[in-house]
Amino acid sequence: MNEYVESNRSLWNGWTRLHAHSEFYDIEGFKAGRSSLKPLEIEEVGDVRGKSLLHLQCHFGQDTLSWARLGARVTGADFSDEAINLARALAAELHIPARFFRTDIYDLPAALDDRFDIVFTSYGVLSWLPDLDRWAEVIAHFLKPGGFFYIVDSHPIFGMVNWDGTAFEYPYFNTPEPTELESHGSYAASGEAQGFSHPEYNWEHSLSDIINAVVRAGLRLEFVHEFPFMWHIPSYPSLEEFEPGKGRLKGSFGLLPHMFSLRAVR
């Protein structure tokens, strides 16, 4: 398992170097005050003023720092060295109070003693996790009594469709070994990523896997929502923009659920 995780860490280190200069992440716009959060999570998480928030798999911290701009006391964690270095540099440059930990999510309890009002994670996080039960236990560990966990991510059914949006190519249910892919470029960097190639390893998890892991960890579900759209990603060839900022798969695949969100209380 470690070889898969270490390969993925190397991939995300490389992606971070690309993303730091990508139009998709628009760091200069972020420095000027742009929030990286989508309206959906702002609405479903609610008012964060004065609350402590732990952001798991935070990449280089734009969402973490966006929550801080909304009044939260924030901590971010990610396994990528490059991402955490960039997150810390951004926080320092922008004078935004924030802590960032470079650690695998399963090892975070050994590095951090605090408890939080909110544990948050979003977009493209679950497929990098080999063990959802351990993941959910980490979440429950960090929540204060009465605190809540929130996730928004691509729907597992959406994840079955290939990059071109022409066929189901990947399994819905979890398998013992991860799916091995060769990543050419990055979802967030097109021209900047020419010549970049790296193996990646993904684990599939069904919606019931996700929900049951959260419940087994002792959390009480408040809601599970499914959505018929994905935020539009220009580099994703199978997504067509049907409303400003919203994309969906072309043809009959557009009828599938594209995203889900979940909120659960400790």
* Domains held by the chain: number: 1
The 10s digit of each residue's pLDDT in 48-101 is 999 999 999 999 999 999 999 999 999 999 999 999 999 999 999 999 999 999
- The predicted model gives 148-172 an average pLDDT of 96
Rounded to whole angstroms, the Cα distance separating 250 from 176 reads: 31
pLDDT value for 234: 80
Q: Which of 16-25, 41-50, 172-181 has the highest mean pLDDT?
A: 41-50
- The predicted model gives 9-36 an average pLDDT of 96
- The predicted model gives 248-258 an average pLDDT of 96
Nearest to 120 by CA among 84, 67, 81: 67
pTM (whole model) above 0.75: yes
- The predicted model gives 126-140 an average pLDDT of 98
Is residue 210 within 8 Å of residue 132, measured between CB atoms? yes
CB atoms within 10 A of CB 231: 18
- The predicted model gives 148-161 an average pLDDT of 98
DSSP string, 165-229: SSSB-S-SS--SSPEEEEEESBTTBSGGGTT-EEEEEE----HHHHHHHHHHTT-EEEEEEEES-
Exposed (0-12), middle (13-18) or buried (19+): which is 175, by Cβ within 10 Å?
Answer: exposed
Domain hosting residue 64, numbered range: 2-265
Does position 1 have pLDDT exceeding 70, yes or no? no
pLDDT value for 194: 67
Mean pLDDT of the chain: 95
The partner residues of 227 in beta bridges, in order of sequence, read: 259
pLDDT value for 191: 58
Report the CATH number at residue 30. Answer: 3.40.50.150
The 10s digit of each residue's pLDDT in 192-225 is 566 789 999 999 999 999 999 999 999 999 999 9
Give percent of the chain with pLDDT exceeding 70: 98
